[in-house]
Amino acid sequence: MSIRAVYIIPSEDAEIPIFCKYFPSVEVRCKSRFGQFYVKIPSEREFVKLLFIETGIKNGDVFVEERDNCEKEFSNPAFQLKTDFGILWPVIKIQHKKLIYCAITFEENFKINQQSGSMKLAFMASVTTCLEALNGLSQHVDNCTTSQEKIDRVELLRYVNCAFPYGRPVCCNPSVALNFSSTSWKGKVKQPAWNPLQYRGKSQVIFSIKEEIRCIQCNQSKNANPIDICGTVTCTSDVEGVSPEISVVLTNLHENKCGLLVNACVTSVETISASSTRLRFHPIKSQNLCLYKMKTVFPPPIIATFCMKVKEDIADITFKLKLQSGVRNGFQKLEAHIPLNCLITAVKPKCSQGSLTVASKNKLIWNIGTKLPSKTLEATLHAKAKLKRVLEKSSEQTITDSYFVDKEKQIVNANALSETVKTEYATVIFKILDYVYSGFKIDPQFVIVSTSSKVNRSVSCECYSGVYKIWNENTENVIDDLLEEQFERVLECN
């Protein structure tokens, strides 16, 4: 894939582009490839005119049959321009701030009938590659624009020549592309392809552990509440040296009870002991190292009970929550959500701590706070909510003398609410920083970098809830098989 021409056009009443770059070598290959189907690139003024009409920037409120025909397929950001020489395809266009970035692509390995215009975007890699090139160009324009909002054309041309020399996109990252052409950098040692530029600065390695807990709790279940714990380990690093290698030891407090799935970037996996595993990898700026899933049956970190009874149009809600001993009592976020399938007109809460609010007129949100009482580690909520069922339009009656009819409706609706309002479960949402429930950890002292001994090593971790459902105790016909089946479905979907 190559680029025949690239344009930067002001998006307001422009006649010519403020920047244009043609690639004659690509044009020669295009003419040789398509022969009689070759379509010549029009002049700059004609190209801007055709582009504005096709994209609706000009004459957008006027019907143009070739553009607004209902049989024409929508293919934004790829457009076809009908010129005096034929159909020009594909023309890729994006808009960033007040500028339009546009390019005409050429894909040699794709069979195109330029006259019929029958081309499929799904099979054209040039479209996505060109989009990446235009996004990189827009980032560079933001960086080289002066305070007077004038574009440095010298820097812009230098970037275009480095990012896609001879029309072929090589590196669309502005910082990396410009460093390739820097005269101050002299590569005495060949850099690997995955890290083409040598880092110069203070070396640092940052590991991040994010652990997700999914659980379904029901007091009617005779079996233990199903729980699933899984997490990801990522690494962000800036390390000096040529082709450095990082070694890290992952420690699991529960021996032989952790399933580990490593990324392709990990070069070696070494089992040190039943609870320790060493990984070796070549660092990139940011990368995922592995996924893990605990096989040990853990008790839920937060045990909760939820009970809701509806009598006439009043819902009596009781929610109790208790933190397991040993779990860190410090939350960035701790909430309980109770969704209802009817409108909430009024609520009278009684919380041991936190506050209760109504969201979207049909959901109760209990914001518990950042910490539970240190002695009991418990929080309770008792609330009464007045409900109102949403009537369908077909059931509404239009009777002018409707006093008795309205009274009858109120009685029917109040009696029907207790039968129709069903809240099967509530959800608990929490997030704890600098803590993992499973005991999975990384010791910074065992992080080794092959090319440097003075490296800043740090590890951050967090634990958060995924699907964390608390079933209503009054839900009928909740059995263990149904609970396990739903939990398995949740795990498959996630």
Percent of the chain at pLDDT above 90?
33
pLDDT at position 143: 78
CA angle 38, 40, 41 (to 5 degrees): 140
Q: How far apart, in whole angstroms, are the C-alpha atoms of residue 156 and residue 425?
A: 58
pLDDT band at 97 (very low <50, low <70, confident <90, very high): confident
Find the distance separating the first CA and the last CA of the chain, reported in whole Å: 37
The answer on 264 and 173 residing in a single domain is no
Identify the domain containing residue 145 by its residue range: 2-180
Q: Which of these ranges, 280-289, 383-392, 471-480, has the smallest mean pLDDT?
A: 471-480
Q: Is residue 190 part of a domain?
A: no
3-class SS at 270?
A: strand
Indicate which CATH number applies to the domain containing 25.
Answer: 3.30.450.60
90 and 53 inside one domain: yes
Whole-angstrom distance, CA of residue 310 vs CA of residue 416 = 10
pLDDT tens string 62-80? 777 777 777 777 678 888 8
Please tell me the distance from the alpha carbon of residue 231 to that of residue 460, in angstroms, as a whole number: 13
Strand partners, 101: 8, 94
Q: Would you state the structure tokens that stand for residue 209, as one six-digit string?
A: 């552990």
For residue 27, the model assigns a pLDDT of 92
251 within domain boundaries: yes
Question: What is the spatial distance between Cα 93 and Cα 133, in angstroms, rounded to a whole number?
Answer: 11
Residue 398 confidence class, pLDDT cut points 50, 70, 90: very low
Contacts of 348 (CB under 8 A, 6+ apart): 383, 384, 385
What pLDDT is stored for residue 406 in this prediction?
45
26, with CB counted inside 10 A (0-12, 13-18, 19+), is: buried
Left, alpha or beta for 405 (phi > 0: left; psi -120 to 50: alpha)? alpha
Tell me if 191 is assigned to some domain: no
Q: What is the residue-averaged pLDDT of the chain?
A: 80
- As for how many domains the chain has, the answer is 3
In sequence order, which ranges of 110-235 are alpha helices (DSSP H)?
A: 125-144, 153-163, 174-180
Q: Summarize the confidence of residues 44-68 as an average pLDDT.
A: 81
Residues 3, 103: contact at Cβ < 8 Å? yes
Q: Which of 180, 196, 212 is the last residue of a domain?
A: 180
Residue 188 lies in a domain: no
Phi, psi of 311 (to 5 degrees): -125, 115
17: preceding bond cis by omega (within 30 degrees): no
Predicted pLDDT of residue 259: 84
Mean pLDDT lowest among 99-108, 235-244, 268-277: 235-244
Claim to verify: residue 72 and residue 161 sit in the same structural domain: yes
Element (H, E) at 271: strand 266-273
Token output for 468: 């964390």
pLDDT tens digits for range 222-253:
566 788 899 999 999 888 776 788 999 999 87
CA 447 to CA 453: how far, in whole Å?
A: 10
As a whole number, mean pLDDT of residues 164-176 equals 82
Task: Name the pairing type of β-strands 456-471 and 204-217.
Answer: parallel
Indicate whether 166 and 220 sit together in one domain.
Answer: no
How far apart CA 494 and CA 488 sit, in angstroms, is 10
**Residue 482: count of CB within 10 angstroms of its CB:** 12
Model confidence pLDDT, tens digit, residues 454-464: 888 999 999 99
Find the range with the poorest average confidence among 112-116, 260-264, 281-285, 294-298: 112-116
Output the six-digit token pair for 491.
């795990």
Residue 169 lies in a domain: yes
Residue 307's domain is classified under what CATH number? Answer: 2.60.40.1170
Q: Quick check: 299 and 340 in contact, CB under 8 A?
A: no
Is the domain of 137 the same as that of 108? yes
Predicted confidence band of residue 378 (pLDDT cuts 50, 70, 90): very high
Q: Are residues 55 and 171 in the same domain?
A: yes
292 and 313 belong to one structural domain = no
User: β-strands 378-388, 343-351: how paired?
Assistant: antiparallel
pLDDT band for 183, please (50, 70, 90 cuts).
Answer: very low
**C-beta of residue 78 within 8 angstroms of C-beta of residue 127:** yes
Which two three-digit tokens encode residue 241? 């040296």
More confident of the two residues 80 and 212: 212
Q: Is residue 37 included in any domain, yes or no?
A: yes
Indicate if 6 and 141 belong to the same structural domain. yes
Lowest-pLDDT choice from 10-14, 166-170, 279-283, 290-294? 10-14
Average confidence (pLDDT) over 300-316: 89
Same domain? 429 vs 477: no
What pLDDT is attached to residue 25? 92
Residues 222 and 117 in one domain: no
Indicate whether 256 and 333 sit together in one domain: no
Cis-peptide into 77, omega within 30 deg? yes
Are residues 6 and 151 part of one domain? yes
What's the confidence (pLDDT) of residue 117? 43
**Separation in Å, CA 274 to CA 94, 257, 421, 438, 488:** 54, 9, 51, 16, 28
Judged by average pLDDT, the poorest of 138-147, 270-279, 340-349, 401-410 is: 401-410
Q: The tokens of 199 are what?
A: 């880092």
State mean pLDDT over 182-211. Answer: 67
Per the CB < 8 A criterion, the answer to whether 164 and 158 are in contact is no
Tell which of 433, 454, 484 closes a domain.
433
Contact (Cβ atoms closer than 8 angstroms) between residue 54 and residue 79: yes
What is the crossing angle of helices 125-144 and 153-163, to 10°?
150
| Position 473 pLDDT exceeds 60 | yes
Residue 33 has pLDDT above 80, yes or no: yes
Domain-embedded: residue 186: no
Distance CA 485, CA 117 (A): 51
Q: Is residue 166, in this structure, part of any structural domain at all?
A: yes
**For the chain, what is the radius of gyration of the CA atoms?**
32
